[in-house]
Chains A and B, each alone.
Chain A
Amino acid sequence: MEQYEPDSLSPAQLAAMRRSLSNGRAALSRRSLLRASTGGALAVGGFGTLSACGIPAASQGQGGVSSEDHSAKEKVINFSNWTEYIDLSADEKHRPTLDAFTKRTGIRVNYTEDVNDNVEFFGKIKPQLAAGQDTGRDVMVLTDWLAARLIRFGWVQKLDPANLPHAYANLSSQFRSPDWDPGRAYSYPWQGIAVVIAYNTKATNGREITSVSQLLDDPKLKGRVGLLSEMRDTVGMVMLDMGKDPGTFTADDFDAAIARMQKAVDKKQIRRFTGNDYISDLSKGDLAACLAWSGDIVQLQVDNPDVKFHIPDSGYLAGTDVMLIPNKARHKTNAEKLIDYYYEPPVAAQLAAWINYVSPVEGVKAELAKIDKKIANDPLIVPDKAMSAKAHLFRSLSSKEDKAFEEKFAQLTGA
């Protein structure tokens, strides 16, 4: 568009004409917009370029890829963890266990709370790991099922048992040999998680909620029940309620559990499938009862005594968040020292007393008792015999099963 301004026009006329440029037909019109979008479509339509792309196979064979270990020269560890998943000092400025580690070994820890969600974090680190590059992380904490996937893809490194004497000796038997990492060659638990039933007595009018059946069927809870958006946690709890073992179930068992929940969804029993955001809903009473993660509930009870939890007689699903060393990590030995450090009972006790999840460390109870008797006797933090007997693990899935099951679960949750 070329515009000319004849000299013969008066200033007022000129002004009017300039205005028309920004306001009239010359301005962004529907034609120019349509023209532009067609152009864009044509550019995209270069079919040749389309087939040039493609996503290479993720799998690099089990075993992991190491790179030169800079541990001796660079006294550093880059540690990625979930938010609020480590002990803090009273002024919330220091992390006592990490500070003590640095003091003892001289290794500085760059601690980053950048894990908010397993699937999102996987999306974030996938490009580097798939391309065989360093993620900039030496140790990261992820939930067991995602750890299993990373091990299957060969994206994490085998740990050196020589650097892990405490971890080897003190790992509690419950966590020793998951089917996705027998003998703990690649991973060590940071904390254990128990999936429990939580309820707000104010919202249930003082009634106790004691089974998953009650969550799915009790008409008094209609529209005020929350289930977890983590497929394994929710489906596992429903399977247990139906008398199936999530450690050995078949595809039919899975479908039966989905069908059972679908009924509850159809009659509007279920309010939402939630992540961590169930905490505020339960506290306000918008959710009367829900499936919940044990550590959250222990912490929530401090603020809100109306919140109670129950371990169903049918058992509960036990999960773990595990520490992993990704491929090409620059400071593997340092990272192993850190993993081992958290398996010393006094350190584990300090951590457990603060974050209130299930401690995976044998011998933590005696140390915890020195800090806080109440916590030491809480079965949600140090599982007693009865509690351990009720624990069930979700079996590992092949990638085909993983996709099919996640798809069915997504249909259930609305998409």
Chain B
Amino acid sequence: MTTTVTEEPAAPPVAKTARPPRKRGRLVPYWLLLPGLLWLVVFFALPMVYQASTSIQTGSLEDGFKVTWHFATYWQALADYWPQFLRSVLYAGAATILCLALGYPLAYLIAFRAGRWRNLVLILVIAPFFTSFLIRTLAWKTILSDGGPVVSALNALHVLDVTSWLGMTDGNRVLATPLAVICGLTYNFLPFMILPLYTSLERIDGRLHEAAGDLYATPATTFRKVTFPLSMPGVVSGTLLTFIPAAGDYVNADLLGSTDTRMVGNVIQTQFLRILDYPTAAALSFILMAAILIMVTVYIRRSGTEDLV
């Protein structure tokens, strides 16, 4: 975006011809863009082209791969791995909803009630990022261990009976079940939900709440009619920042899951590293990208907000 402010007057089209724009000043933004563009070309566009090419090749590692325009790889990949795609969308969707349910009250609290503790709480939200993603996920294996206090408590409260009935857990354990994977995803991506929510809530003018009160709106009505609509940009960007990486994640499914919780990220990893079927791995990546792009587009259109930040 070139949101530069020029001195040019907002004159009607006729006036434009009267004074030609200054050339040097006009080019500056593009020069400033150059490093970013180069970065995108080298680290985004080129790998994309390379992957796109890989996805339509055939061959083997030993004899080499050649571009044969073999689009059937895409259909084969979809036919073989649609359950994993579906699972990725469901798990990422569930994690996003959980993140929103957990993150919204917290972001609201930080924005309006935390007072002088605000910065401290914000740091606490970001603190998990100080350790590695892998270590954080492995820590859950200790917390949710079969004989551990968490699982014992859930058993005593008969929570696991309910989740078992829903098919989210299996017997008296949490680890190696869909529930563990969804919880892991929720935990790992929660800050990506809280931070955008906080920025958009924090922008809301407190006097709007007072005005709503003056007009006899109950707190619930104020939230429904004033606060929530104004925080929609945060909700939209938070859900996107959570859903998109969660759908492609494979670490949580690998460490916290079992054979029936593998997501599409795991399939891509296996295809690429173990089976050495690079075309299928590339095709799966593109299908995932396309699926996410379509879902996100529909979502943004329906969410009724123009802004993403």
Contacts and interface: CB of A to CB of B under 8 A. Distances in A.
Interface residues of A, number: 67
A123 B170 contact: no
A268 B5 CA distance: 64
Interface of B: 1-10, 45, 48-50, 52-54, 56-57, 59-67, 69, 81, 84, 138, 141-142, 145-147, 170-171, 173, 175-176, 203, 255, 257-262, 266-267, 270-278, 293, 297, 300-301, 305-309
A407 B56 contact: no
Interface in A1-50: 1-6, 21, 23-34, 37, 40, 43-44, 46, 49-50
B185 to A, nearest CB: 17
Question: 3 closest Cβ contacts across the A-B interface?
Answer: A57-B64, A414-B262, A53-B53
A24 B307 contact: yes
Given A1-B1, A3-B6, A415-B267, 14 more contacts: A1-B3, A4-B5, A25-B306, A29-B306, A37-B293, A44-B52, A58-B64, A153-B62, A272-B176, A285-B147, A403-B276, A406-B275, A414-B261, A415-B84
Nearest to A409: B274
Interface in A375-396: none
B2 A54 contact: no
Contact of A281 (B5, B53, B64, B141): B141
A27 B309 contact: yes
B48 A54 contact: no
A403 B61 CA distance: 10
A311 B180 CA distance: 33
Contact of A280 (B9, B50, B62, B141): B141
Contacts of B59: 55
A49 B48 CA distance: 11
Given A4-B6, A57-B62, A57-B63, A50 B259 contact: no
Nearest to A224: B146
B217 to A, nearest CB: 24
Contacts of B271: 410
B3 A26 contact: yes
A5 B261 CA distance: 56
Given A29-B306, A415-B262, A2 B49 contact: no
Contacts of A57: 62-64
Nearest to A402: B276
Contact of A414 (B138, B259, B307): B259
A24 B267 CA distance: 41
Most buried by A among B53, B56, B203, B297: B53
Nearest to B268: A415
Nearest to A407: B275
Given A49-B49, A223-B171, A286-B175, A410 B270 contact: yes
B259 A406 contact: no
Most buried by A among B50, B67, B266, B275: B275
Most buried by B among A21, A27, A31: A27
Given A44-B48, A55-B57, A413-B259, A4 B300 contact: no
B64 A399 contact: no
A30 B2 contact: no
Contacts of A265: 259
A415 B142 CA distance: 26
Most buried by B among A55, A120, A223: A55
A152 to B, nearest CB: 8
A2 B6 contact: yes
A309 to B, nearest CB: 21
A259 to B, nearest CB: 15
Contact of B54 (A24, A30, A53, A413): A53
Contact of B146 (A56, A286, A399, A413): A286
B274 A119 contact: yes
Contacts of A55: 54, 57, 59, 61, 64-65, 278
A43 B297 CA distance: 19
Contacts of B1: 1, 26, 28, 32
A61 B50 CA distance: 27
Contacts of A33: 300, 308
A273 B259 contact: yes
A399 B259 contact: no
A223 B160 CA distance: 15
A70 interface: no
18 contacts: A3-B6, A4-B5, A24-B307, A25-B307, A28-B309, A29-B308, A44-B52, A49-B53, A52-B53, A54-B53, A222-B171, A223-B171, A223-B173, A224-B146, A265-B259, A280-B141, A410-B270, A410-B275
